[in-house]
Structures are given as C-alpha cells and as structure tokens.
A = this chain, B = another copy of it.
Amino acid sequence: MGWSTAERIVVRGKDLPGEILGHLNLGDMAFFELTGRVPDAKESKLFNAMVVTLVEHGVTPSALAARLTYLGAPEAMQAAVAAGLCGLGSVFVGSTEGVAKMLSESSAEEILQKYKRVPGLGHPLHKPVDPRTRRLFEIARETGFYGKYCRAMEEIAKSKGLTLNATGAIGALACELGLDWRAVRGLGVMARAVGLVGHLLEESRQPMAEEVWLRIEEEASRHLKP
C-alpha cells in the first residue's frame, strides 16, 4: 500500500508529508485507506460522523475487557486495546457489517420477505427514535447522501415497528458512500480502538478494574466456600 526511499514516503500514490499530513484528518485517512481516494468535503463530513458515532459507548463489555487486561499488563497497553477489540463480533458492532451486506444484496421488499430478524433494528433504550440515526440522516441529507439504502432501512423499520438504530443507519450510509461491505465492521473496530485508548488512560488515572474484579470474584465464589 506504500513505499519509501530515503527522501520520500508514498502511501497509495500520494506523498505522505506533502499531500496527506496537514491536509487529511484521521477520518479522511481512513476513507482514503478503504477507497483509495481522498474524500471531498461532503464525504469527509458524513464519513467522519459515522465513525465518530462508534467511538464511545461508555462502559461496554469491550471497555471492561480492555481495563481488566490493562490491570494485569499495564506495560502493554496495545494488548489491552487488542483484548477490547476481540469481542466486536456478531453481537455488538459487527451488525453494521450485516446491514451493509444485506442492503448490497437485496431490496427492502426482499429483505422483509427473507429475514426474520433484520440487523440494525431495535434498541433497548432509544425508542421510538435513535437520536444518532436522526442526526446521521440529517447530515446525509445536507451532504446529498441520503439515498435508496437509507430509504430502504427506514421503510423496513417502519414496517417492522422497530427503531432504526445507529448500526442500521451506519450500514445504510456505508452503502450510500459506496464502501465495500467487507470493510464495514472495520469502521466500528477503528472507532473503538480510539475509544479504548481513552478508557485505558482513564483507567490509569481512576482505576475501576481491580475493584470490579475483586467484587465479582467474591460474589462468584461466596456460595462455594465452607
């Protein structure tokens, strides 16, 4: 994806110091990595908003796993971030991929017929409207990317009587931007890597992992002791 000589560093055909540093923000660089082209201002606004949505979700299982890992190996923060990422699978975060794949293969009508459980719908707390979806679709309209995939998801959500949640919105918007569905889980993975670094810095200052561990261990073994 890149090459270097003594004087030059080139990433995907662009000069890193001259054409990228100071010109692309981190979200733009991610877009560039995934598509091979620099986003225009509208793409940049929408794509950054999508990824930023996924950075911080508070004390998730992923954040707890990272903090508990850091407790045992504070000298290897990268491994604590890695531990936190390992759980971004089919249950959490990975559903954006499911939405993007589904929309890239089927119409709303076909989806309603084929899928018993449509990914990207429903939320335990945010109902009837997920405020992130409302805001992301607002940005999509502003930037001209509110299109057929967004409409399809809204139609499906209405028909099912369920909230169109943020992962559903982001899956649809990834399709609007022409991203490959195989990269879509990666949006959540990179976003959470950012958020997990934040959690680990907080853990180094205001630790919570040790207290959590000792309490849960005590609870789990109490009934076993003589």
Taking Cβ atoms with an 8 Å cutoff, the residues of A that contact B are 1-12, 16-18, 20-22, 24-30, 33-34, 44-45, 48-49, 51-53, 55-62, 64-66, 68-94, 125-127, 131-132, 134-136, 138-139, 142, 180, 182-183, 185-187, 189-191, 193-195, 197-202, 204-205, 208-210, 212-213, 216-217, 220-221, 224-226
Q: How many copies does the complex hold?
A: 4
Q: Which residues of B contact A72 (CB under 8 A)?
A: 61-62, 87-94
Q: Which residues of B contact A226 (CB under 8 A)?
A: 5
Given A22-B139, A75-B76, A80-B87, 16 more contacts at CB 8 Å?
A: A4-B58, A4-B126, A9-B132, A17-B135, A20-B52, A22-B135, A25-B48, A26-B27, A27-B27, A33-B195, A62-B72, A68-B87, A72-B92, A75-B90, A77-B182, A83-B83
User: Whole-angstrom distance between the alpha carbons of A200 and B212 in the complex?
Assistant: 19
